[in-house]
């Protein structure tokens, strides 16, 4: 048994301290992710039992609507993640504290401005019309929307602590927070079900407050223990450090918008090209194959900040070994996709019955999408980690404008249906496949110039 374990460790390369740290957090991430999924599974029926179908639908739509405002951090979180990791790796602790202070101050200003604008605009919006619900919910929504938005704006600020943990190579922090948020939410809804009244206002207020409370507690703990020397002080915030963060942060902001357009418009495109009914098989296939996507993301995402740390320390050997390790792991992705394709008809029938038919070509297209996405993750995490994302910015903007017309061309003109929509996404992601390994090689070899090195 010991020899087998040694061979596995040698195969994937777990001997480096930095790698062991990553593996540890990948393990924690899997444990907390499983716990989150189970909690969410239990939460849904309890919530439906407490709220009626209309109110639950309103809450889901409302929370999705509010989350769109998360892009207004203008990429500061990603900028702080890279710059804090670099400063800490070089032992520039004063700079690290100033970067944290500047990020907190800037996000606080953005959040306050967002709240002021929201409260002004709120007076002119009829929310029951926006959410296509009964007028009886007007008063509830008029109170609930400001409450939810205020908690969201506060969350934008206090969520920066997770960025600092990630930059410090505590890669499973997001999964831990999601888990504890779900557990507290589960407990809260269980308490609410013991009452005789159903209230969307109470439900929404509690569920908006829970993640904020958890993050405030985490901020208090972190800045009085592990990150005591990096506690934000507004006197340390300055334009110099803001420029450092926003220089790369704004590029991340554009990439985030492009990704949002690319990955959140397919349902809208399918509804308008075909019918709302066609969205159902598309989403079932997507959710099935995205299981593998989620697993691979848990494995690769922790490398982002570790690549930042290693690059700042000029530890290119570790970077190269890590990329080779990830490529070895990726070889299991096509095998897994082949197995999922083989079992897809059986799984679909077990999951949703025989009323919804998912064509084989749609499943094949989804498998191709996952294969491309997972391969890109390996190199994009390195590129994001070292902050050389100008090329990614250009390709993301091009992709954003290509996706919708290409989806229309493949889906309607070529009559490929919903399969054409995901194939358009595959094309938009696929043409960049050779670019990321090329950029990685150029950066590692020190030959990157121009857009390859920005």
Q: Which residues contact 121 (CB under 8 A, 6 or more apart)?
A: none
Instruction: Look at residues 304, 376, 414 and name the one whose alpha carbon lies nearest to residue 78.
Output: 304
pLDDT at residue 81, rounded to an integer = 80
Cα–chain center distance at 288? 18
Q: Report d(CA 117, CA 110) in Å as an integer.
A: 11
CB 370 within 8 A of CB 292: yes
Structure letter (DSSP) for residue 355:
S
Q: Which residues contact 199 (CB under 8 A, 6 or more apart)?
A: none
Q: Report d(CA 405, CA 420) in Å as an integer.
A: 11
CB 251 within 8 A of CB 395: no
Cα–chain center distance at 425? 18
Q: Report d(CA 91, CA 96) in Å as an integer.
A: 9
Q: What are the boundaries of each domain within the chain?
A: 27-247, 265-453
Number of H helices, E strands in the chain: 20, 0
Neighbours of 34 (CB within 10 A): 12
Q: What is each CA distance from 221 to 164, 225, 343, in whole angstroms?
A: 13, 6, 47
Q: At 360, is the secondary structure helix, strand, or coil? A: helix
Report how far apart the first and last C-alpha atoms of the chain are (Å, whole number). 47
With vertex at residue 64, the alpha carbon angle to CA 136 and CA 205, rounded to the nearest 5 degrees, is 55
With vertex at residue 435, the alpha carbon angle to CA 434 and CA 436, rounded to the nearest 5 degrees, is 100
What is the dihedral sign for C-alpha 415, 418, 421, 423? negative
CB 367 within 8 A of CB 340: yes
Q: What is each CA distance from 133 to 53, 112, 353, in whole angstroms?
A: 11, 29, 30
Neighbours of 204 (CB within 10 A): 24
**For the chain, what is the largest distance between any 2 Cα atoms, rounded to a whole number of angstroms?**
70
pLDDT at residue 371, rounded to an integer = 95
Q: How many CA atoms lie within 13 A of 274 on its CB side?
A: 24
Phi, psi of 107 (to 5 degrees): -65, -35
pLDDT at residue 217, rounded to an integer = 94
Neighbours of 41 (CB within 10 A): 10
Phi, psi of 391 (to 5 degrees): -65, -40
Instruction: Give me the count of residues in the chain.
Output: 454
Would you write out the chain's pLDDT as a tens digit for each of its 454 residues? 445 434 544 544 455 666 666 777 677 777 877 777 777 667 767 777 777 766 766 776 667 666 666 666 666 777 788 788 888 888 888 888 898 898 899 889 888 988 998 888 888 888 777 766 777 777 888 888 888 889 988 988 998 898 888 888 776 787 788 888 888 888 888 888 887 677 888 888 888 899 899 999 999 999 998 889 889 888 888 888 877 777 666 677 677 777 777 766 777 677 778 776 677 778 778 878 988 888 898 888 878 878 888 888 888 998 998 899 999 999 999 999 999 999 998 888 887 677 678 889 999 999 999 999 999 999 998 998 888 888 988 998 888 888 889 988 998 888 888 899 899 999 988 888 999 999 999 999 989 898 898 8
Q: Report d(CA 170, CA 173) in Å as an integer.
A: 6
């Amino acid at each position: 048994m010991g020899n087998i374990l040694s061979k596995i460790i040698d195969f994937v390369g777990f001997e480096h301290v930095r790698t062991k740290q990553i593996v540890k957090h990948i393990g924690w991430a899997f444990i907390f992710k499983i716990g989150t999924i189970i909690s969410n599974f239990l939460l849904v029926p309890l919530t439906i039992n407490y709220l009626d179908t209309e109110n639950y639908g309103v809450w889901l739509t409302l929370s999705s609507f509010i989350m769109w405002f998360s892009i207004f951090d203008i990429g500061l979180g990603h900028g702080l993640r890279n710059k804090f990791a670099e400063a800490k790796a070089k032992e520039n602790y004063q700079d690290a504290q100033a970067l944290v202070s500047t990020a907190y101050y800037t996000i606080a200003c953005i959040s306050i401005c967002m709240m002021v604008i929201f409260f002004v605009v709120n007076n002119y919006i009829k929310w029951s019309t926006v959410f296509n619900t009964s007028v009886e919910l007007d008063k509830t929504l008029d109170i609930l929307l400001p409450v939810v938005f205020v908690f969201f704006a506060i969350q934008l600020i206090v969520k920066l602590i997770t960025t600092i943990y990630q930059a410090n190579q505590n890669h499973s922090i997001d999964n831990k927070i999601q888990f504890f948020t779900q557990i507290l939410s589960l407990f809260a809804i269980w308490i609410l079900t013991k009452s005789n009244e159903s209230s969307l206002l109470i439900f929404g207020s509690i569920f908006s407050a829970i993640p904020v409370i958890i993050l405030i507690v985490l901020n208090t703990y972190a800045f009085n223990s592990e990150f005591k020397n990096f506690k934000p002080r507004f006197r340390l915030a300055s334009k110099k450090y803001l420029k450092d963060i926003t220089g790369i942060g704004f590029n991340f902001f554009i990439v985030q918008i492009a990704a949002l357009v690319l990955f959140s418009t397919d349902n809208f495109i399918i509804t308008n090209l075909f019918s709302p009914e066609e969205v159902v098989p598309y989403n079932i296939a997507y959710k099935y194959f995205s299981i593998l996507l989620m697993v691979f993301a848990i494995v690769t995402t922790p490398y982002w900040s570790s690549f930042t740390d290693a690059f700042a320390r000029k530890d290119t050997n570790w970077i190269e070994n890590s990329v080779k390790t990830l490529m070895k792991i990726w070889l299991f992705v096509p095998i897994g996709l082949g197995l999922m394709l083989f079992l897809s008809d059986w799984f679909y029938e077990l999951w949703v019955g025989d009323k919804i038919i998912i064509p084989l070509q749609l499943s094949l297209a989804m498998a191709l999408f996952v294969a491309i996405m997972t391969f890109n993750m390996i190199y994009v995490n390195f590129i994001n980690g070292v902050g050389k994302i100008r090329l990614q910015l250009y390709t993301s903007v091009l992709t954003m404008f290509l996706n919708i017309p290409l989806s229309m061309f493949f889906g309607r003109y070529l009559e490929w249906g919903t399969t054409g929509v995901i194939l358009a996404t595959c094309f938009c992601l696929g043409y960049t496949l050779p670019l990321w390994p090329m950029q990685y090689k150029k950066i590692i070899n020190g030959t990157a110039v121009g857009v390859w090195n920005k």
